[in-house]
Structure 1
């Protein structure tokens, strides 16, 4: 009888450990007060044009134990803000983001790459101007913490990549010497649901 009890306890502990290892990932909703995307592009070697997109929505699924997750982020192109109304209109025009035909950009990833406990990159697909191509975001920093105001766990990070905008058909002013390469960054914070 004692052997049976020990075997039963061992089996229960084994099942408990297996269940913990395969826990479902938690879902986090992007917090629009702490999330935005930016870009920076050289302007003929004289200056750097920078702007940000203030309306970013989406979800993150994250399984800490498995170091795995998914990200689905949508950026409202019309929320672009450069500090100049004229430049904002130009950015929304057909030769750049073409906001009338393509009002959103979207980044989707189903993989998080860790080195030990540190998130190092997020490979995914960026849809811009109706075209989808791979982009890998480098993680500059990433952490989860108990957010005292939201009264739930928050996970967030700062990510960046350099893309060739002509891959998506954004060719404006390239023939005049404006660079193809654009640095993009994403500052994301999401609250556990």
Structure 2
């Protein structure tokens, strides 16, 4: 009787470890991952830039339809293609890269529709302030990469945030939009 009870007690533990085994960890590929931003400029054009240095991981369980994302951006690596504009964006007036050299997105949920990822919800920290952000998936896929011989998962995601929530209010009094569009192209390689 005791052996039967012990065996029954072990079934949930074995099931839990089997489910846990489905979770895979992927490293962000910095050569195929780009985090870009767009801000309206007086309703005439769009200022664009990107963060050239980024790192992070993705934990993904396709069968369990769960996962986590953790991406850190090096704010000092901001690049618009124009050095003076980069310097202005890094200044205390806008992103204050000296005081806040990193920005970070940490997800708390990956949302699926069937087998496809549709959005990633989480917390975005910029200028020392953290607020929720939902990244909508425009595209998502996993494939066996023939060059690195490992599985790669990724997609195109985007969100529009109110930058003033994080304290990036420069230009609002001139008529610049408070909306900042984030565009995230990410690929991560299974470790």
TM-score (norm 1): 0.89
Aligned to 2:132: 134
Alpha-carbon separation, structure 1, partners of 2:107 and 2:77? 23
C-alpha deviations, 1:106-149, integer Å up to 9, x for none? Answer: 00002100011111110100000000000000011111111111
Residue in 1 that maps onto 2:172:
174
Match of 2:87 among 86, 89, 102: 89
After superposing on structure 2, the runs of 4+ consecutive aligned residues of structure 1 that deviate more than 3 Å are: 15-22
* Contact 1:158–1:187 (Cα < 8 Å) also in 2: yes
Residue in 2 aligned with 1:156? 154
Q: Distance in 2 between matches of 1:167 and 1:25?
A: 34
Check whether the contact 2:48–2:80 (CA below 8 A) recurs between aligned residues.
yes
Q: Does 1:33 align with 2:13?
A: no
Cα distance in 2, alignment partners of residues 49 and 174 from structure 1? 14
How many Å separate the matches in 2 of 1:26 and 1:33? Answer: 21
Q: Return the offset for 1:23.
A: 2.6
**8 Å contact kept, 2:22–2:64:** no
Structure 1 unaligned blocks of 5 or more: 1-14
Equivalent-residue separation in structure 1 for 2:17 and 2:75 (angstroms): 42
Asked whether the 8 Å contact 2:137–2:155 carries over to 1, the reply is yes
Larger Rg: 1
Secondary structure of 1:91's aligned partner: helix
Q: CA deviation at 1:169?
A: 0.8
Length, aligned pairs only: 180
Question: What is the aligned partner in structure 2 of residue 4 from structure 1?
Answer: none
Q: What SS does structure 2 have at the residue aligned with 1:111? A: strand
Partner in structure 2 of residue 7 of structure 1:
none
Report the Cα distance in structure 2 between the residues aligned to 1:22 and 1:170, rounded to whole angstroms. Answer: 40
- Whether the 8 Å CA contact 1:35–1:54 is kept in 2: the answer is no
2:109 aligns with 111
Q: Counterparts of 2:99 and 2:115 in 1: how far apart (Å)?
A: 41
| Aligned-residue CA RMSD (Å) | 1.7
CA apart distance, 1:19: 5.9
Contact 1:73 1:106 in 2 (8 A): yes
TM-score normalised by structure 2 residue count: 0.90
Tell me, in whole angstroms, the C-alpha distance in 2 between the residues paired with 1:129 and 1:123.
Answer: 20
Q: Is the CA contact (8 Å cut-off) linking 1:111 and 1:122 kept in structure 2?
A: yes
1:36 and 1:53 in contact (8 A); partners too = yes
Q: Is 1:142–1:155's contact at 8 Å kept on the other side of the alignment? A: yes
* Structure 2: gaps of 5 or more residues: 1-12
